[in-house]
Structure 1
C-alpha cells in the first residue's frame, strides 16, 4: 500500500516534498487530466488554465491578490513525465505503470524549509482533489487543513 502522506527530504540546502498516489486508471488517462488546462486549474493552486503544453511552454498563475507569474515547462514526456519551474521551485510529476493502474510520484523541490509543514498540508489537499477529478467524482475540498498541518508538523520536526 502506498503512503498517501507526503515525506520531506533535504539535500544540498533544498527541500523536496514527495507524495505518491495510486490511480486505478492507465497512465495516459491520468496524464491527460493532470495536463489538461481546465482540470489543472481545479486542483493546482493559483493556476489560471492558461498553459502552453510543450518544453519551454508557459503556465500562467494568479494568486487572486494582484500577483501574476509564470512557470516554465522543463520536462514533458507523454504520458510519463510533467515538470515545471515555478519561480525558484520545481514541480515534477511522474507516472509509473502498475498492475490495475498507475502510481503518481509528485515532488515539489524548494528552498525555504520553514514552509514545509504548510506546503505539505496544502499539497495533500490538492492531490486529494486531483484524485477526485481523475476518478470522475464531484470536487469536494475537505476541511482538514489544521489536522494536516498538525500531522506534518509532528513528523517533520
Structure 2
C-alpha cells in the first residue's frame, strides 16, 4: 500500500473549485462523464461514469473534502483528502490519497495529474 501526495495550482477562487468538486452537474461539465455526488457526509458517490466510487466522509465548505474510495475487497480504507488554499491569483490544492494498492499506484498518480486535476485546470483556465 502506498500514499500519493500532490500539489496543484488553479487560477480560480477556492469557492468555485470546491463547488466544481461537489456539484454533480459541474463535475459532468469538467470531467465529461455522468456523476453522482452529494455534499453530505456518509453519502456514496460515483464519478467518471462509475469508474471511481466511494463514500463521502466529511467536508469543510470551500476548504476540504475527504472521501473513502473503493478498491475491491481491500481491508484498509483508501482515503482521499483534498485541501484548498486560496491565494492571490488562484487556489493551491493539496491532495493526499492513502492506502493505494501498489498495483494501482502509477496509474492513480497519473490519473490524478492528468484526468482529475488536469481536466479541472482546463475547465477553469482554458
- TM range, normalised to the smaller chain? 0.7 to 0.9
How far apart are 1:70 and its partner, in Å? 4.5
User: Within 2, Cα distance between the matches of 1:24 and 1:60?
Assistant: 26
Name the counterpart of 1:89: 78
Considering Cα pairs closer than 8 Å and 6+ residues apart, tell me whether 1 or 2 has the greater RCO: 2
* Distance in 2 separating the partners of 1:104 and 1:23: 8
* Residues 46-101 of structure 1: CA deviation (Å, up to 9, x unaligned): x74111211112213524xxxxx842111201000011111232111110122222
Give the TM-score, by structure 1 length.
0.64
Structure 1's unaligned 5+ residue stretches are 1-13, 64-68, 138-157
Query: Structure 2: any 5+ residue segments left out of the alignment?
Result: 71-76
Task: Report if the CA contact (8 A) 2:19-2:26 is conserved.
Answer: no
Cα pair distance change 1:91/1:48, threshold 3 Å: farther
Q: Which has the larger radius of gyration?
A: 1
Alignment of 1:17 with 2:4, yes or no, is yes
* Shift in alpha-carbon separation, 1:90–1:36, aligned structure 2, 3 A: same
Match of 1:55 in 2: 41
Corresponding residue pairs, total: 116
Task: Report 1:89-128 matches (<5 A).
Answer: 89-126=78-115, 127-128=117-118
TM-score (norm 2): 0.78
- RMSD of the alignment, in Å? 2.2
